[in-house]
């Protein structure tokens, strides 16, 4: 009887049009209120932006050389870039995946993962 060809299942990776890479300088979150998932928020901190800035109008033109008034709230602004909601199983898989990749990097002494 002739050999059957090996069956294959192929998954093609495609990035969404709004795909972005975010710096993960700050990550916070925790279990969701129902304790069924983990919410992970990816954030960056930067200097606070003024809520508004006012300039004088001189002879019908805005004089940008002098700030007449501005309102600042806080010293640092924490921008939440995205949230990632993981089931407990997904979180465990993520921990394993991160550990494997950290091991590869450490094995390569800082080189790119395999």
CB atoms within 10 A of CB 66: 8
Helices (H), 13-108: 88-107
Mean pLDDT (10-residue bins), the chain, 114 residues: 85 93 91 95 90 88 86 87 95 96 85 52
Q: Is the dihedral of CA 13, 18, 23, 25 positive or negative?
A: negative
Are 42 and 79 in contact, with CB atoms under 8 Å apart?
no
Prediction pTM value: 0.62
């Amino acid at each position: 009887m002739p050999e059957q060809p090996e069956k294959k299942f192929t998954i093609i990776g495609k990035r969404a049009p709004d795909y972005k890479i975010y710096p993960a300088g700050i990550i916070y979150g925790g279990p969701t209120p129902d304790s069924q998932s983990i919410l992970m928020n990816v954030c960056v901190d930067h200097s606070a932006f003024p809520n508004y800035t006012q300039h004088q109008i001189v002879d019908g033109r805005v004089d940008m050389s002098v700030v007449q008034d501005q309102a600042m709230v806080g010293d640092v602004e924490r921008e939440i870039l995205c949230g990632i909601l993981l089931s407990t199983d997904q979180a465990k898989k993520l921990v394993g995946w991160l550990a494997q990749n950290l091991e590869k990097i450490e094995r390569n002494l800082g080189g790119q993962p395999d």
